[in-house]
Structure 1
Amino acid sequence: MPRIKKASRNMTTIKSNRTYVLFHTICKIAFLSSGTNFWFEDMDFPAKLINIYNAIAPVLEVIVALFIMSHCGAFWTQPNLNEKQSNDRMLLTCVNGLTYLVYVNILYYKREIRELVMTLAVRLKEVCNDGTIEKMMLRTTYRYISALVFICSSAMISYGLGSGIQALTTNATFTNMIPVWPDVEDRRIIAGAGRVVHYIAWLFLLARIIAIYMLILTITISIAHQFKHLCKYFVNLNDIFEGSGSQEEKERKFENAFKVGVKMHAITLWCTRQIQLTAGMAFSGQVIINVCSLGLLMIQMMSTERTLVAMMQIVFMALLILIGTGLFLWNAGDITIEASRLPAAIFHSGWHNCSRQSSVRVRKLVTIAMTQAQDRVVIKGLGLIELSYESYVAIVKSSYSLFSVIY
């Protein structure tokens, strides 16, 4: 597929639609969270704000990178931990480390992401954009994004609140995670300030991860609904023969429209390959996080005192893992389901209404289009796991199996 040139702000050919507005909003959030522009145009923020943010963004990036390094360094500098603290160190290092790699991977493919956003928000919508399907897509996106933001925020707040309550009610320090410094028993004021700074750095990382996950989810949901658009587009081609005009004009119009549909299908398949390329690490990382983290959480639940604060942290983290994995696998599975309905839609496009030479040409087109549409469209994790509702259940079960073997 040819590369899409960067759109200029003076372009008059781009027609705004609700999908365009949605992607624009998500890209704005991603820019404010990470300092990276995934939109195919310049961000429409004040120039002064952009200059200031571009100046501080590298500093924030260094803080986040040091935060991840602090997690890893704690394995050497914090040997005297109790069982819960050791489990927390392993769990948060796994989750934060893998999600940060996902974030870095998406930054690496930012140019491909821009092309993908341009294609889904503008190029495909210029040809066919059913209002009902678009409304359904927006409703699904808002619902899933709201769930993602809520559960991620709840998990972080539960760790901070739990550590704060423990510090106020007992002689413990405010230790919601295990950094490279200070020591968990260091009670100096500077050590307490260091723990607060570490918690704030976690907020910076979480903001980046949420924004990137929102973008990936929106793209995945949009691709699944684009196959819905294609199905309706081909089925509605039958209406051409119910309109006015001669049979010859109808056949010519149908043939041209059918070719446009085939081209749209090719572009949609390209979008599917691009999301596999750009977000493949996100899908794979989420599978690994689910298996490892749920196993660690189950071990932690068996060994942790059954208090409200301790259980709150475990429950919210488990929900974060389960819902985060589910959002990726469910929507990736929807792409496979919606793509599998396309051959039937092509068959019912009205090709049988054509006659003579037009019928010969159209039947060849239909045969080629259906053959291509019958190839399974799947998103894979780890290069071999087909992401779907069934694989989600299997992955969750494998987490319990891992726990059963270890514990």
Structure 2
Amino acid sequence: MMPIKPFQNNRTSDLFHTICKIIYLSCATNFWFEDIDYPAIFMKIYNSTSRVLEVTVAVLIISDWGAFWTQPNLTEKQSNDRMLFAFSHVVLYSVYCSVIYYKREIRELVMTLTVRLKEVCYDGSIEKMMLRTTFRYTTAFVFVCSSTLFSFGIGSGFQALTTNATFTTIIPIWPDVEDRRLVAGAARIILYIVWWIFLVRFISVYIILLISTIGIAHQFKNLCKYFEDLTDIFEGSGSQEEKERRYENAFKVGIKMHSITLWCMRQIQLVGGVAFSGQVIINVSVLGLLMIQMMFTERTLIAVMPIIFMVSSVLVGTGVFLWNAGDVTIEASRLPAAMFHSGWHNCTRQSSVRVRKLVTIAIAQAQKRVRIKGLGFIELSYESYVTIVKSSYSLFSVIY
């Protein structure tokens, strides 16, 4: 049997640990499989504060829908904004709540990806690729999402300074968009801050799902490398019988790691099912609403900028999930070939009979298509991303 490396702190575990510490600061939820090493008094105070912030976020979402009864005198753009945010906030908050609900399952998933699988399937070059991919996608996702809120704030602030308009970023139940009292202005600023709190919480739970999906895709890369490297057993020292025994045992370890990786796949589908489905719904509906809004928007940079950033955030948000889900499917499809080229043909006599049966069963299992689904039936991939984006325009064309 090939020697199993004892687990040591690696860059993957450092990444997940750092991300989980940051996420705790956004929503007071620990997704790390151990206690977060913050001072106890700080955590006690922050946990209580976070519950208050949670209530304010819920009030914000209720206020979005209450505006349909209390804000009748709106422009065409403001009416579209009201519909856009009322609908999208409910979907995004449902995603956030679902991830928090599966906190225990996520902690177990993180432990498996960073500890159990790294004890056997660990390759430094693949880990560097994973870190680069994680940095690239998370940076793009955070940038476009935060830019959306910045653009709404800048656009509303510019109009408030240069025209007679009020600083209105979202349409709440109160104050009225034409209310120019000081208390109304302060309330709008507070609502904008609460909107930021909501966005930060939403981004944080998306990131833990995103890096977990990236980790699973690269775990399949690790598995392929593991099986391909098994041929090295027959090039080393020792008798043929000893090499065959070591190969057979090592192949069984690989099968076990494959089984654990498939368990990770089922877990990410469980904990991220609402997120994957919500992203598909958001992409189709919000892009359609934004195209409608563009028809009634003044063609100036300040007016168009929030729409452009909102479109970008939807496209990138959908893209990072569907692209990485597609990567999982692609990397998993390469595993049967890696198993076939693992060196089983070097075994002889009775060992050859046992190994061939073992390899045949393992390849048959690996040939089953691995995929992540949204809405229970849409396979998330590069192809489905293009289809979903096109369907948004098709919906807009049917309506207008």
Which band: TM-score by shorter chain? over 0.9
Q: In the alignment, what sits opposite 1:52?
A: 45
Q: In the alignment, what sits opposite 1:229?
A: 222
- The separation in 1 between residues aligned to 2:21 and 2:137, in whole angstroms, is 18
> Which residue of 75, 84, 88 corresponds with 1:82?
75
Task: Trace 1:139-154 onto structure 2 (pairs within 5 A).
Answer: 139-154=132-147
Asked whether 1:17 is paired with 2:10, we answer yes
Asked whether 1:388 is paired with 2:381, we answer yes
- The separation in 2 between residues aligned to 1:128 and 1:284, in whole angstroms, is 31
Matched residue type, 1:163: S
Give the 3-state SS of the residue equivalent to 1:281 in structure 2. Answer: helix
> Which residue of 325, 336, 342 corresponds with 2:329?
336
**Residues 146-192 of structure 1: CA distance to partner in whole angstroms, max 9, x if unpaired?**
00111111100000000000000000000011001111111111111
- The separation in 2 between residues aligned to 1:227 and 1:320, in whole angstroms, is 29
- The separation in 2 between residues aligned to 1:387 and 1:247, in whole angstroms, is 46
- The separation in 2 between residues aligned to 1:121 and 1:206, in whole angstroms, is 27
> Which residue of 255, 268, 271 corresponds with 1:278?
271
Q: In the alignment, what sits opposite 1:9?
A: none
Matched residue type, 1:187: R
- The separation in 2 between residues aligned to 1:361 and 1:288, in whole angstroms, is 49
Task: Trace 1:24-43 onto structure 2 (pairs within 5 A).
Answer: 24-43=17-36
Task: Trace 1:47-196 onto structure 2 (pairs within 5 A).
Answer: 47-196=40-189
Q: In the alignment, what sits opposite 1:265?
A: 258
**Residues 75-118 of structure 1: CA distance to partner in whole angstroms, max 9, x if unpaired?**
11111111000111111122222111100000110000000000
Give the 3-state SS of the residue equivalent to 1:125 in structure 2. Answer: helix
- The separation in 1 between residues aligned to 2:344 and 2:69, in whole angstroms, is 69
Q: In the alignment, what sits opposite 1:198?
A: 191
Q: In the alignment, what sits opposite 1:365?
A: 358
- The separation in 1 between residues aligned to 2:95 and 2:26, in whole angstroms, is 15
Q: State TM-score, norm by structure 2.
A: 0.98
- The separation in 2 between residues aligned to 1:134 and 1:108, in whole angstroms, is 29
- The separation in 2 between residues aligned to 1:271 and 1:214, in whole angstroms, is 17
- The separation in 2 between residues aligned to 1:96 and 1:146, in whole angstroms, is 22
- The separation in 2 between residues aligned to 1:392 and 1:112, in whole angstroms, is 27
- The separation in 2 between residues aligned to 1:230 and 1:216, in whole angstroms, is 21
Asked whether 1:310 is paired with 2:303, we answer yes
**Residues 289-334 of structure 1: CA distance to partner in whole angstroms, max 9, x if unpaired?**
0000111111111111101111101100000000000001000010
Whether the aligned pair in 1 keeps the contact of 2:121 and 2:219 (CA below 8 Å) is no
Give the 3-state SS of the residue equivalent to 1:326 in structure 2. Answer: helix
Aligned residues: percent identity? 72
Deviation, structure 1 residue 14: 5.3
- The separation in 1 between residues aligned to 2:97 and 2:71, in whole angstroms, is 27
- The separation in 2 between residues aligned to 1:128 and 1:398, in whole angstroms, is 40
Moved over 6 A (4+): none
- Where does the alignment leave 5 or more consecutive residues of structure 1 unmatched? 1-12
Over aligned residues, Cα RMSD in angstroms? 0.8
Matched residue type, 2:25: L
- Where does the alignment leave 5 or more consecutive residues of structure 2 unmatched? 1-5
Matched residue type, 1:99: L
Q: In the alignment, what sits opposite 1:207?
A: 200
Q: In the alignment, what sits opposite 1:6?
A: none
> Which residue of 370, 393, 397 corresponds with 1:400?
393
Q: In the alignment, what sits opposite 2:3?
A: none
Give the 3-state SS of the residue equivalent to 1:172 in structure 2. Answer: coil
- The separation in 2 between residues aligned to 1:304 and 1:141, in whole angstroms, is 36
> Which residue of 305, 325, 345 corresponds with 2:338?
345
Give the 3-state SS of the residue equivalent to 1:375 in structure 2. Answer: coil
- The separation in 1 between residues aligned to 2:31 and 2:65, in whole angstroms, is 30
- The separation in 2 between residues aligned to 1:94 and 1:257, in whole angstroms, is 52
Give the 3-state SS of the residue equivalent to 1:124 in structure 2. Answer: helix
Give the 3-state SS of the residue equivalent to 2:29 in structure 1. Answer: coil
- The separation in 1 between residues aligned to 2:34 and 2:26, in whole angstroms, is 18
**Residues 192-216 of structure 1: CA distance to partner in whole angstroms, max 9, x if unpaired?**
1111111010011011011111111
**Residues 219-251 of structure 1: CA distance to partner in whole angstroms, max 9, x if unpaired?**
000000000000010000000000000011101
- The separation in 2 between residues aligned to 1:40 and 1:72, in whole angstroms, is 38
Give the 3-state SS of the residue equivalent to 2:63 in structure 1. Answer: helix
- The separation in 2 between residues aligned to 1:143 and 1:134, in whole angstroms, is 14
Asked whether 1:217 is paired with 2:210, we answer yes
- The separation in 2 between residues aligned to 1:100 and 1:359, in whole angstroms, is 56
